[in-house]
Structure 1
Amino acid sequence: MLFCIVVTSIFFNIFLVDFITCDGIFYLQRVPSSCVQTTVTTTQDNTTTTDCFIFSWQQITNLATNYTTYQDPTTNQTFYAQIAALTVLGTIDNRDLNYHCPPSGYNGVAPGCATQNNTHLVVLHINALDNKLYSINVILSGTPFPSPSSLVDNQPPFGTARHVFYGGIPTQSTDYLKICKRNSTTQCPNNDISAHALANPFPSNTGYGIFGIKRYDFVTNSVWIMDDVNQILICTAGTKYYYFNASGFFLYDYTSNTCIWSSACNYQCEVYNYNSRFLDYAGEWVITKKWGVGDMKPVAAQAWIGNAIDAAGIFPVILYIDNATGHYIGLDKIDEIPASNMGASYWYTAHDDTITGESVLKYHPNVVDVGCVSRLRDWSGPINDGEMVMTSKNSRLILWTAFFLYFFVT
């Protein structure tokens, strides 16, 4: 039976917590044989021992950042998904879980990663009602970084490790959280991870929303317009505009009025690397609140945790896909080096299907407006109108056309 024990002492009529012990489990989502039972202890003792991980509660309190609040639809409990880069000592079954940066240019992207020793990149799931920590996702870096051409969806390396604490652990500002192996077990969730596939590529979609960085109390507009048929994409964050095509991308900075071309990452590098080679399914979350977004309506989303690989480099994320439409609707980015108010967040409050051959070209400012090229065709190439897709907006047109052809042409 899984339970928690809280041991206290009385001093001047004040209850002081000496230590808290709970049962839990630990496993790597992609490695079924990794499942072990754990003893989870909050204690003043930070001595490292065999088969134990040690977290600092003070560091968790100081460094955890919350961009997303969600409800678990299976339990109706509300959680803060707090992201952090934490110094963690120890191993379990010789798995240290430390995050390592890939070689420069891995999978065709420019360098953009730095980390420190003994650093775990984590998502902490803290209950909004009782302020207890119920689980931790640890993002794995993929070391020793095999050739990208050999990677298989939902198979090692990459993915996540997971700590689960039954009954929850009360959070605090001092002492240490020690997670130690007891014995191997089969209690870990028997998830068929192949049953959850991240669409690759995403359905062509258009999103309008925000980009925010808590460290600077900065929130600005963001746009995502993806046209997969024509291999073109526009992604913006405030005054920075990224224009991707099949060859590379333009980075335009509105503030300095500069336009720079790079072949380091093209449309496929930017979009196709968001897939199940690098991200693990984390469940369905009903997102109830996003930092930087006011008056938000709850959104049911698939949450994916792992690594994003794009023009900005390789970086850990929580990625969100709209459960109803399959559209990409945002991500929370985790910095690799421990810092307060870390990370950044994209969130698209309005999104819809992209109109193939039209949505990207009609967006302003486009590459001609900002002076990257003199003719739009030089960047976009020949435009394929693609096939008309049955959506709520054009279904009436399709049905009316079929009706007309049947009665007036045949």
Structure 2
Amino acid sequence: MFCYTLITSIFFNIFLVDLVICDGLFYLQRIPSSCVETTVNITTDNTISDNCFIFSWQQITNLSTSYTTYQNPKTNQTFYAQIAALTVLGSIDNYDLDYHCPPTGYNGVSSGCSTSNDTHLVVLHINALDNKLYFINVILSGTPFPSPSSLVDNQPPFGIAWHVFDGGIVTQSTGYLRICKKNNSTRCPNVNGSTHALPYPLTSNTGYGIFGIKKYGFVTNSVWIADDVNQILITSAGTTYFYFNATGFFVYDYKSNTCTWSPSCNYQCELYNYNSRFLDYAGEWIITQKWGVESIKPVVAQAWIGNAIDAAGVFPIIMYVDNATVHYIGLDKLDPNPAPNIGATYWYLAHDDTITGDSVLNFHPSVADVGCVKQLSEWTGPINGCEIIMRLNNIRKMLPLTFIFLYLFAF
């Protein structure tokens, strides 16, 4: 598979509408039989054809947002992982890839989702050096939404589809990108789900970092403390705090000084749905930049792309897990409607193992501090491993987290 050098004359420019620029591959990662070779054209015509997808270059330029820059360790190429909700026409082999919102209440939470017709939720991998598009990931919605109890790890209907362009495509400001089926193929690098397993549940860990929304130029502090043994979790975005236990969660807002209890989603709902039923392994990325963070030390991470299902509803994400510690270290969230500067990001600058029965109990503000309950034990229940041993190595681990937390609050 290779991209062709196109030499045209005035004659060809007059009579050709579609310029064949590249061959490629299209496939659904969880369905090996979906693999096809494609022909990739630049065109001024967006008429729907059989077995073709049509993207608008102008929409790609206007609506894509980058929260993450990463390096591929295999090729040393640096990419912007641009997220977008794009209007895409057509289908290949009856795979239309349109995003559909789950029914309200799917998997125990309200959806809070709406989207437009013919919308694909995508991750565009743009090379930072040559500004070429090398890959597109399309996040599958999961339709027809089978019962969550029947879902199997790394099996349809969730996951991602891939468009692969060997040699890359120079991005355009106008016109259309047409991707059409050429032949069936067995050459797609479908990822074996058993080779790359997402930790289940996510490893208990503590992180301090940022939450940001590019559309508003908004960056604030965020904390994440998960204690799986005791089924309790604290997470925050600025002045809004979420306190999960085994039966539900509190939401506390500093601005309004209000605390609200909800039984709609508990600790397991919030964390146990981050798994391979809904997310596909997308590769090992060396994260070199995050929007909203002035500078970061490069982090080798596993990237997982798909859907999150938690207290906020159902939404598509890129999730990052530290390759060395398997800690959850952040996510980029996509919005399901086409708009400029969509989405949001969480990124944890410092993270470490949660100390069972200690990290949550010693975090402030606790649910008792903010008045959700009178005593912390009313929220936590009996704590396992409550004998706290402050070993020297634990103190050394926690000090950097404390300093970063104080730094974030200072600004």
Q: TM-score, normalised by structure 2?
A: 0.92
Describe the shift of the 1:152–1:347 C-alpha distance in structure 2 as closer, same or farther (beyond 3 A).
same
In 1, Cα distance between equivalents of 2:199 and 2:62 = 36
1:19 shift after superposition: 3.0
Equivalent in the alignment of 1:63:
63
Equivalent in the alignment of 1:290:
290
Structure 2 counterparts to residues 76-95 of structure 1, below 5 A: 76-95=76-95
1:191 shift after superposition: 2.5
Equivalent in the alignment of 1:209:
209
Residue pair 2:200, 2:275 contacting (<8 A) in 1 also: yes
Q: May I ask how many residue pairs the two structures share in their alignment? A: 390
1:47 shift after superposition: 1.3
Structure 2 counterparts to residues 126-137 of structure 1, below 5 A: 126-137=126-137
Equivalent in the alignment of 1:251:
251
Describe the shift of the 1:41–1:207 C-alpha distance in structure 2 as closer, same or farther (beyond 3 A).
same
Secondary structure of the structure 2 residue equivalent to 1:59: helix
In 2, Cα distance between equivalents of 1:305 and 1:206 = 22
Equivalent in the alignment of 2:351:
351
Residue pair 2:101, 2:111 contacting (<8 A) in 1 also: no
Residue pair 2:27, 2:34 contacting (<8 A) in 1 also: yes
Residue pair 2:211, 2:344 contacting (<8 A) in 1 also: yes
Give the gaps of 5 or more residues in structure 1.
Answer: 12-16, 397-410
Amino acid at match of 1:46: N
Amino acid at match of 1:120: H
In 1, Cα distance between equivalents of 2:303 and 2:191 = 15
Structure 2 counterparts to residues 167-182 of structure 1, below 5 A: 167-182=167-182
Q: Which digits, 9 at most, give the CA deviation of each residue in 1:291-317, with x for residues without a partner?
A: 000121100000000000000000000
Q: Which digits, 9 at most, give the CA deviation of each residue in 1:259-284, with x for residues without a partner?
A: 00000000000000000000000000
Secondary structure of the structure 1 residue equivalent to 2:360: helix
In 2, Cα distance between equivalents of 1:395 and 1:243 = 25
Q: Which digits, 9 at most, give the CA deviation of each residue in 1:354-394, with x for residues without a partner?
A: 000010111111100110000100000010017999x9936
Residue pair 2:56, 2:176 contacting (<8 A) in 1 also: yes
Describe the shift of the 1:334–1:9 C-alpha distance in structure 2 as closer, same or farther (beyond 3 A).
farther
Amino acid at match of 2:36: V
Amino acid at match of 1:293: V
Residue pair 2:30, 2:190 contacting (<8 A) in 1 also: no
Secondary structure of the structure 1 residue equivalent to 2:350: strand
Residue pair 1:242, 1:251 contacting (<8 A) in 2 also: yes
Give the gaps of 5 or more residues in structure 2.
Answer: 12-16, 397-411
Equivalent in the alignment of 1:142:
142
In 1, Cα distance between equivalents of 2:113 and 2:387 = 40
Q: Which digits, 9 at most, give the CA deviation of each residue in 1:230-272, with x for residues without a partner?
A: 0000000001000000000000011000000000000000000
Structure 2 counterparts to residues 315-330 of structure 1, below 5 A: 315-330=315-330
In 1, Cα distance between equivalents of 2:386 and 2:321 = 24
Describe the shift of the 1:380–1:184 C-alpha distance in structure 2 as closer, same or farther (beyond 3 A).
same
In 1, Cα distance between equivalents of 2:159 and 2:300 = 22
Q: TM-score, normalised by structure 1?
A: 0.92
Q: Report the RMSD for the aligned CA atoms in angstroms.
A: 2.0
1:193 shift after superposition: 2.0
Structure 2 counterparts to residues 178-189 of structure 1, below 5 A: 178-189=178-189
Residue pair 2:29, 2:190 contacting (<8 A) in 1 also: no
Residue pair 1:198, 1:275 contacting (<8 A) in 2 also: yes
Describe the shift of the 1:313–1:392 C-alpha distance in structure 2 as closer, same or farther (beyond 3 A).
farther
Secondary structure of the structure 1 residue equivalent to 2:393: coil
Identity, % of aligned pairs?
74
Q: Which digits, 9 at most, give the CA deviation of each residue in 1:199-224, with x for residues without a partner?
A: 11111100000000000000000000
Residue pair 1:7, 1:18 contacting (<8 A) in 2 also: no
